[in-house]
Structure 1
Amino acid sequence: MRRWIVTFIAIALCLTAGSAWVYFSNQKVLAQSFVLSNQVFRAEFSKGVSKDVLEKGEVYVTDDKNARIEADFQLKNNGKSLEISGLSNGKYTLHVDEKFSLGKSKYTFEVQESLPVVHSRGELEDYFKLVMSTRENVVTEETMEMSAAEDKSSGTADYSTTNNQVKGVEEADIVQTNGSHVFVISENKVVINNIENPSNMKQESKIQFTESFYPSQLLLKEELLLVIGQKNMYHTLEATDSAPRIEPDWESMTGVFLYDISNPKAPKLIRELASEGYTNGVRLKGNMLYIVSTIMPRYWAMEENDDMELRPFTYDSKTDKEAQPLDYEQISILPDSLDGNYTVITALNISEPLVNEVKTRSFLGGSQELYMSTESLFLTSAIYKNDEATTMSKRLWGPGQLDTMVYKFSIKDTIVDFVGSATLTGTILNQFSMDEHNGYFRTVTTTGNLWDQNNPSENNIFILDETMNMVGSITGLAKEERIYSARFMGDKAYMVTFRETDPLFVIDVANPTNPKVLGELKIPGFSNYLHPLGEKHLIGFGYETSSIVPVGSKEPIIQTEGMKISLFDVSDFDSPKEVDTEVIGGQGTYSPIQYDHHALFQHNEKNLYGFPVTIYEKEEGQEYSSYKQDGAFIYEITPEKGIVLKASLLNKDNQAQQYEEWGTMIHRLIYSNNSIFTIGMKEMKSYQLDTFKETGVLSY
């Protein structure tokens, strides 16, 4: 009896907050409770239904006056998906006839022109109570993938720029340069080094931060340096006669410090911003700065503290003395979200950083992966759908079916507006699995689990229109494998999957309504990151693999070996080829380029590509590889010559070490004019660009 009461309460709460599973004896339904007027209403059935259901009126919609509505009903996905279009703004009820359940089911939803805002604390409390009720009986295990990868921005200046995914959209990194100076994050400070004379580099100044702020990323725009990191910030809690508070009087926030560096010897702090939560992403488009943070509020403490603050905190040194909670009017609940986390999006035009106003909006619906084009911002959130029949033992080992909600926002100056959302089957690996082109959103996903025979993995590509309605897809690719990397290049998509071999798929997405697989290449190893080399070649950075039979076993297993660079020729889309390879070191060898695309060095004119590397090798008689050396490699990579090693910039002072040391490792490579610089946490070196001869060293 208690279970049915809990279910009833959960369903009632869902009327104001997204969507929920509604349980019947024969059918399980997932339906939206809110939809924008430019989107279709969707309902998902656990079991497929036939068109007869619609023709006989066993599933229908009524308006707020209980009158049946004429609309366009379409069944898709073998009868498991129902789409309803042609509804004007208003409140409606979806009816599922008693033939599909123990009694007639009604599910209320609303069509509106725009995303409504939260009006009161009570609405937030209802939402978080619903989140808690849906999580009480679900045991899941989450795995976080480290995101990586992007396309080098081109510029007219003769110095390095950050390796960005989208041209015109700058991403933050641990190192920045303007050609004359290098700005480096070194532990709890930012070091500003003069590199105008590479043989006599000088530290001109440093920005030292307190223990309450830890810098992690930098952006550079002309004479403005932005330092991004995590900051503990205090706020005042109002006195109360209630029980002692569980919530602390400080918040972990994403902090942004804006410095005037017109005089690099004396950087001047001109403004400070902060938004609660950890940093999900920072982007700079022209003069427009966008900061996205994610926070899990302490809603579980509501029972102990009735007056605890449920809203995110923000801070702007221009207007605030301390962190302040957002106004309710700045908060919206995203449709179909029971994530329980906040996403905070902050926008500022930095053309006049002292004067311009900050705009902040917060959305209930957490964000995991982030992709931003020049027109839109896309955020993803995981959806767990555990089948009732799933045993507890299986739930302990895996999260059941994991799907993804994708939210789209338009970005115009400081105005960030919600456009629409879509539920996609499977998980999205990282930002390179997403792309926007000519108004269409394209993405690749993996469904199922790699080693689960009951729910084997397979891969998909989905294409959605400007309002996030599905227009094209391919499903069921590379069964029993998962995606390791992807890259969209105009009308083509490239996808690497892996289990025992590395299939590289070439997919034609020129016609959004009819994507087609053109070619497939199977080779040993896999690529974690794909980088374009013109329009007809790709460079893959990943691992070599081998098949071995363990002692006492008859079945072979696949194990990773050294780091692998592959050059792919995709000029013949139907028959891609791996035309050259390079394997570095043995098992355990790695480079940050395999999980962080910003680590890629590129000199376009000289066709040079470089990256930091840590080398492990197995000596004769050893069972396992051991640490040998670290440093950086630079290659010339062209379609004509293939992959040619040009320089091994290895640290000779640490050859006797038994393991790598973070402080002495090379983390980035940049160039300026005729010099290359290797940059670590405590030291940078300069080399001649033509001969790679060392010319200078600077410790800091």
Structure 2
Amino acid sequence: MKKSTIGFIVAILIVACAITSSTFIQQGEVVAANDTATNPGWSKVFFKNVKKSDLFVTNDQGKRVTAEITLSNKGKTAHIKGIEPGFYTLNVKPRAVDGKQYGAHTFKFTIDEVLPRVATEKELVAYFERVKKQQSTLFSAPQEAVKEESEMADSATENAAGSSDHSTTNNQVAGVDEADIVKTDGDYIYAVVGDGKVSITDIRDSKKIQQAAVIKMEEGFYPSQLFLHDKTLVVLGERYEPYREEKQAASSDRIMPVNSMTTVRLYDVSNPKSPSLLREFGAEGYMNGARKSGDMLYFVTNVHPYFWALDHFDGDVLRPSMYDSKESSDIQLVDYKNITILPGATDPSYSVITAIDLSSPTTNKVVTKGYLGSSEQLYMSKDNLYLTATTYDQQQTSNAGTSNMTMMWNPGVANTELFKFALKGTDVTFHSSTELKGRLLNQFSMDEYKGNFRVVMTEGTMWDDKNPSKNHLFILDQNMKLTGSVEGLAKGERIYSARFMGDKAYMVTFRETDPLFVIDVENPKAPKVLGELKIPGFSNYLHPLDENHLIGFGYETVAEKNPNGGEPFILTMGMKISLFDITDFANPKEQDTEIIGGRGTYSPIQYDHKALFQHKDRNLYGFPVMVYDEIGKEHYVELQSMGALVYEITPENGIVLKGDLLTKNTRGEQYTEWDEQIHRMLYSKDDLYTISMKEINNYSLDTFAPIGSMKID
């Protein structure tokens, strides 16, 4: 993606008010920027007799930048022109005013990249017509590439939960909560249990857990994830709405399309036995992800308008829709002023970002913005939201026997666009973007630390001998500009998991063995590989135990001789837990391992980090699991048992099994019903709880002996 040159004019108005943080500025805005709290008296004399020569601008590294500064409003307003998006400081030199000497002073501000807005329906239609024309020349990507891309995207993420008297979701970033199918406040368990229901279970008396209430949704609404905010239960789900009315002239046998509406319902659970609906709102599209930081709730949806239906439907089918029961029962269209085009966007789709302050759930405004351009992975810190989109190189080929030319994707040449949005309450502002070579695995491939953004990526495909895959680590500054990188690692392999821990990065790649790379990222300009460990198998989820140890969840592998010669066959065997000692960064070690079952064994933890149970005070880590093993010599696998396992994992004693909550398979079935499987585990006080769609069981955390059981609904 190439950025266009955009001019910026910033007006900084000096008034008598205190602002302690950076001011976000976009073209044409005038904002208050005086800091009277640290420099009392400045408000009266700051721009008295000021000259342009008294002012200069520096960037976030303290270096002067070339900027055109003009003054207006009798010297009270400074206009700054000709600087790129980024973090800046307006500096005022020491000066004497009315015989009194004043020292130097500074005003911090931020320039955000200005996106082109879609001002009218005509402009929006023109965008989609242009995209439609581009896409009509493209074939689909070859199936192999699509499959590998899907596998990479499904190998999801990880944690930052602290100690308390009850479980919290295994979040990636401390202070940023992620939506999940189960939440608890220690007294009640709130769980999405299928069939359009949310169950509330009273666990205050662990010996007599009982169902407090069941929230039954009407047909057509499918709850999928939850947040718990004080006494407000946030239920996120999908609702399907018929598209706008089809025109009379349209074909009667045309299938009537529907659009997905990501819906949020807020329930008052101050009395969990009688939850009451407070409000409902939503945004069109399938949910990409949701986060909650403090009082703020953010969620992102992906919308694919039926732009082919322009001639068949009344109304505006190109704008995404939204609704809020507080404002109206009718669905509304996102205003043109809230629709902009992401840099380099060539997709007939939107990334829609919605925000609300939950401190007053019934009255605060819901803010929805639409960005033309697709998005895939999502990462959020307390201050910024990042979205990614994969772009493919295009190759021109001629059609045999004709003079026609066709464009098709080249799956081996894929780049990733990254978009950064600054968060200030419900004000979500596009900040900057960049494009990097390669593809991301999942949200754990990204991390923000001390203002820098770090990311690991795989370039190319593993099985391309002429152009083998390779892996990179990039570090970007606050303005998404590259500052340093480590490139070309583990050729012929791809990334299976990654984890950033402060000034260190850990990355697992795999093809025949599992190299664990330890990378020093303390100096953003010069990251470097410190150590590498090669072992059989691979980890597809990395979890920090402490600053010197990592836990890896993945699979054991064995290499079998290829009867036709060439590379050996790699067989995936049982589930593997690895304890990595990274005390000596140059020589990481696999301190201990645990192999569970044989071929076919799997756990949700291998693709969903939220399935990890942890009790840090007790050093306990657990997960649901389905155990398979081979029967006979024909490599036939059979289900042995199902349930959950809990381990004590410490640097001193390694990996020790503490709780075996498996039930042997006596029915001869090869698979269990989804609603019978354990999906989450949590603790409250001294009890462990396992949650399936049909029942909740609890056990003693001291002995793991069963205490009780409750059927749901």
Residues of 2 paired with 1:266 and 1:463: CA distance?
50
8 Å contact kept, 2:155–2:540 = no
Using structure 1 for the length normalisation, give the TM-score: 0.82
Alignment CA distance shift 1:113-1:536 (3 Å): closer
Once the two structures are superposed, the pairs formed by residues 198-209 of structure 1 within 5 Å of their partners are 198-209=206-217
Superposition pairs of residues 187-202 of structure 1, within 5 angstroms: 187=194, 188-202=196-210
How is 1:183-582 mapped onto 2 (pairs within 5 angstroms)?
A: 183-187=190-194, 188-233=196-241, 237=245, 243=250, 248=256, 250-304=258-312, 308-388=316-396, 399-550=411-562, 555-582=567-594
Query: The residue matched to 2:636 in structure 1 has which SS?
Result: coil
Distance in structure 1 (CA, Å) of the matches to 2:563 and 2:116 = 62
Indicate the residue corresponding to 2:183 in structure 1: 176
- C-alpha distance in 2, partners of 1:37/1:527? 47
Distance 1:514 1:554 in 2: 38
2:613 corresponds to which residue? 601
For 2:95, the equivalent position in structure 1 comes to none
Match of 1:120 in 2: 120
Instruction: Indicate whether 1:633 and 2:633 are aligned.
Output: no
Return the offset for 1:592. Answer: 0.4
Asked if 1 retains the 8 angstrom alpha-carbon contact of 2:137 and 2:406, the reply is no
Pairwise CA distance, 1:403: 0.6
Asked whether the 8 Å contact 1:36–1:112 carries over to 2, the reply is no
- What's the CA shift for 1:185? 0.9
- Per the TM alignment, residue 454 of structure 1 is displaced from its structure 2 partner at its CA by 2.7
Per-residue deviation at 1:291?
Answer: 1.0
C-alpha separation in 2, matches of 1:570 and 1:666: 33
Q: Displacement of 1:623 after TM fit? A: 2.1
Distance 1:305 1:204, change over 3 A: closer
Give the match's secondary structure for 2:541: strand
Rounded to whole Å, the distance in 2 between the matches of 1:86 and 1:599 is 52
Q: Give, in whole Å, the separation in 2 of the partners of 1:394 and 1:484.
A: 34
**The residue matched to 1:384 in structure 2 has which SS?**
strand
Displacement after TM superposition at 1:229 (Å): 1.1
1:591 aligns to 2:580 (yes or no): no
Q: Secondary structure at the match of 2:385?
A: strand
SS class of match (1:444) = strand
User: Contact 1:386–1:400 (CA<8 Å) still a contact in 2?
Assistant: no
Q: Residue 709 of structure 2: which of 692, 697, 700 is its match? A: 697
1: CA distance, partners of 2:67 / 2:308: 40
For residues 509 and 422 of structure 1, the distance between their equivalents in structure 2, rounded to whole angstroms, comes to: 20
Amino acid in the other structure paired with 2:417: M
Letter in 1 for 2:3: Q
8 Å CA contact retained: 1:235, 1:323:
no
Tell me the equivalent position of 2:3: 32
Flag the 1:218–1:556 CA change in 2: closer, same or farther, 3 A.
same
Letter in structure 2 aligned against 1:184: A
CA distance in 1, matches of 2:381, 2:113: 24
Output the amino acid matched with 1:613.
V
**Counterpart code for 1:460:** H
Q: Distance in 2 between matches of 1:332 and 1:291?
A: 18
In structure 2, the residue corresponding to 1:163 is in which secondary structure? coil
- Normalising by structure 2, report the TM-score: 0.81
1:344-373 CA deviation, whole Å, 9 max, x = no partner? 111100011001111111101111000001
Q: CA deviation at 1:244?
A: 5.9
Instruction: Tell me the SS of whatever aligns to 1:505.
Output: strand
Q: Please give the per-residue CA displacement for 1:239-273, whole angstroms capped at 9, x wherever unaligned.
A: 86664697958531111111000111110000111
Residue 493 (structure 1) shift: 0.6
1:387 is paired with a residue whose SS is: strand
1:301 alignment partner AA: A
Q: 1:442 to 1:281 in 2, by over 3 A?
A: same
Q: Is the deviation greater in 125-134 or in 391-400?
A: 391-400
Q: What number of residue pairs does the alignment pair up?
A: 606
CA distance in 1, matches of 2:408, 2:342: 29
Query: For residues 554 and 360 of structure 1, do their structure 2 counterparts lie closer, same or farther at Cα, with a shift above 3 Å needed?
Result: closer
Q: Write the distance in 2 (CA, Å) between the matches of 1:149 and 1:168.
A: 16
Residue by residue over 1:500-533, the C-alpha shift from the partner in whole angstroms, topping out at 9 and shown as x without a partner, is 1100111111111111111111111111100001
Q: Which residue of 2 aligns with 1:9?
A: none
Equivalent residue number for residue 133 of structure 2? 133
Question: Alpha-carbon deviations, 1:58-79, whole Å to 9, x = none?
Answer: xxxxxxxxxxxxxxxxxxxxxx
Partner of 2:170: 163
Task: Quickly say closer, same or farther: Cα 1:622–1:629, change in 2 above 3 A.
Answer: farther
- List alignment gaps of at least 5 residues for structure 1: 1-18, 20-30, 39-84, 93-110
C-alpha separation in 1, matches of 2:559 and 2:278: 58
Q: Answer whether contact 2:474 2:482 (CA < 8 A) is retained.
A: yes
Give distance in 2, aligned partners of 1:622 and 1:695.
41
With 388-397 and 400-409 compared, the bigger mean Cα shift is at 388-397
Quote the residue 1:679 is aligned against: 691
Q: In the aligned structure 1, how far is the partner of 2:83 from the partner of 2:137? A: 31
> 1:337–1:394: structure 2 CA closer, same or farther, 3 Å change rule?
closer
Q: Distance in 2 between matches of 1:136 and 1:185?
A: 41
Q: What CA deviation, in whole Å up to 9, does each residue of 1:276-334 have, x standing for no partner?
A: 11011110000100011111111123355585421000011100212111110011001
Residue 547 of structure 1: how far off its partner (Å): 0.3
Is the contact made by 1:36 and 1:420 (CA closer than 8 Å) also made in structure 2?
no
Residue 551 (structure 1) shift: 5.4
Distance 1:244 1:122, change over 3 A: farther
**Distance apart, 1:201 and its partner CA:** 1.0
For residue 679 of structure 2, give the secondary structure of its aligned residue in structure 1. Answer: strand
CA distance in structure 2 between the partners assigned to 1:621 and 1:576 by the alignment: 37
C-alpha deviation, 1:473, in angstroms: 1.1
Q: Is the 8 A contact 1:459 1:479 kept in 2?
A: yes
Whole-angstrom distance in 2 between the partners of 1:36 and 1:467: 16
| Separation (CA, whole Å) in 2 of partners of 1:267 and 1:118 | 42
Contact 2:394 2:408 in 1 (8 A): no
- CA gap of 1:226–1:260, structure 2 versus 1, over 3 A, is same
Give the deviation of 1:112 after TM superposition. 8.8
Distance 1:257 1:112, change over 3 A: closer
- C-alpha distance in 1 between matches for 2:242 and 2:707: 47
Cα deviations by residue, 1:392-450 (Å, 9 ceiling, x for unpaired): 99998962411100000000110000000000100011000000111111100100011
Q: Indicate the SS of the match to 2:128.
A: helix
Q: 1 CA distance for matches of 2:393 and 2:633?
A: 50
- Are the counterparts in 1 of residues 394 and 409 from structure 2 also a CA contact under 8 Å? no
Q: Aligned residue for 1:95?
A: none
Structure 1 residues 397 and 289: alpha-carbon distance in aligned structure 2, compared to 1, 3 A threshold = closer
Deviation at 1:149, TM superposition (A): 2.0
